[in-house]
């Protein structure tokens, strides 16, 4: 996998467009009916403003937004899936695009915030239910089911997205390290990438 540099502003716009397409394409109605309302669009837009808290706490100026991260994760999933016959690409990309969508309401909750994982998931599910409320009941159930599958981490798609989530954070940490920021604590996750789809490219990036 090659490493491309995307302007931060461009990355946020790509994320917005990808999530819009995901919700639009999930609709079973005709193209003339758009299955989104103002609140859903504003929730997506909000992701451009929510900064990744781990980077903010590390003193990084103009830290990446959740939208930046979401876009990068989705792109990593896309390219890592190209030769994988065991991956349902639409499901994997949907997982990647919605994996942090709830943060437009609850913010970026990190492991250092002292909130138990179960409590974090409850907060995020309630937020996601609120964000998706304008969709049909069938589509809400479908997307919430994909989100649940992701967090269970058992399917090939879920494992790939979770691996991409960590990989992207490590790649971003390397970028910030190159700018002189102290981000050593983030590299503790490197050992968890052993045997994943991203191991080889990660080792190349970290050289």
In this predicted model, what pLDDT tens digit does every residue of 13-65 receive, in sequence order?
A: 556 556 655 554 554 444 444 567 889 999 999 999 999 999 999 999 999 99
CA distance 50 to 68: 10
In this predicted model, what pLDDT tens digit does every residue of 126-136 receive, in sequence order?
A: 999 999 999 99
- Domain assignment present for residue 108? The answer is yes
* 63 DSSP assignment: P
**Structural domain total, the chain:** 1
Residue whose tokens read 């499901």: 91
| 112, burial (CB in 10 Å: exposed 0-12, middle 13-18, buried 19+) | exposed
- Domain assignment present for residue 191? The answer is no
Cβ-based neighbours of 158, under 8 Å, separated by 6 or more: 95, 149, 150, 151, 152
- Domain assignment present for residue 111? The answer is yes
- Domain assignment present for residue 53? The answer is yes
CA distance 93 to 74: 6
Query: Terminal CA-to-CA distance of the chain, rounded, Å?
Result: 15
- Domain assignment present for residue 25? The answer is yes
Give the length of the chain: 207
- Domain assignment present for residue 176? The answer is no
Written as one string, the DSSP assignment of 161-189 is HHHHHHHHHHHHHHHHHHTT---GGGGGG
Q: What is the mean pLDDT of the chain?
A: 88
CA distance 201 to 207: 10
Residue 104: per-residue pLDDT: 97
In this predicted model, what pLDDT tens digit does every residue of 155-168 receive, in sequence order?
A: 999 999 999 999 99
- Domain assignment present for residue 72? The answer is yes
In this predicted model, what pLDDT tens digit does every residue of 78-116 receive, in sequence order?
A: 999 998 999 999 999 999 999 999 999 999 999 889 999
- Domain assignment present for residue 202? The answer is no
Q: Show the domain range for 69.
A: 8-168
Cβ(87)–Cβ(75) below 8 Å: no
- As given in the structure block, the two tokens for residue 155 are 């399917």
CA distance 71 to 82: 17
Residue 3 exposure: Cα atoms within 13 Å on the Cβ side? 15
**Residue 76: which CATH number?**
1.10.3210.10
């Amino acid at each position: 996998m090659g490493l491309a540099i995307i302007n931060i502003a461009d990355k946020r716009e790509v994320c917005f467009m990808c999530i819009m397409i995901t919700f639009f394409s999930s609709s079973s109605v005709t193209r003339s009916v758009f299955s989104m309302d103002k609140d859903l669009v504003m929730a997506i837009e909000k992701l451009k403003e929510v900064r990744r808290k781990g980077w903010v706490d590390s003193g990084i100026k103009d830290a990446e937004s959740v939208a930046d991260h979401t876009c990068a994760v989705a792109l990593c999933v896309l390219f890592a899936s190209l030769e994988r016959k065991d991956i349902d690409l639409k499901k994997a990309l949907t997982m990647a695009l919605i994996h942090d969508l709830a943060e437009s309401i609850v913010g970026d909750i990190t492991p250092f915030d002292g909130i138990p994982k179960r409590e974090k998931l409850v907060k995020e599910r309630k937020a996601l239910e609120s964000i998706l409320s304008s969709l049909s009941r069938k589509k809400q159930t479908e997307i919430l089911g994909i989100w649940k599958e992701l967090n269970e981490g058992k399917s090939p798609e879920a494992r790939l997205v979770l691996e991409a989530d960590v990989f992207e954070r490590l790649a971003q940490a390397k970028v910030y390290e190159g700018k002189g920021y102290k981000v050593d604590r983030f590299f503790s996750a490197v050992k968890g990438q052993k045997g994943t789809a991203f191991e080889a490219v990660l080792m190349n990036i970290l050289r």
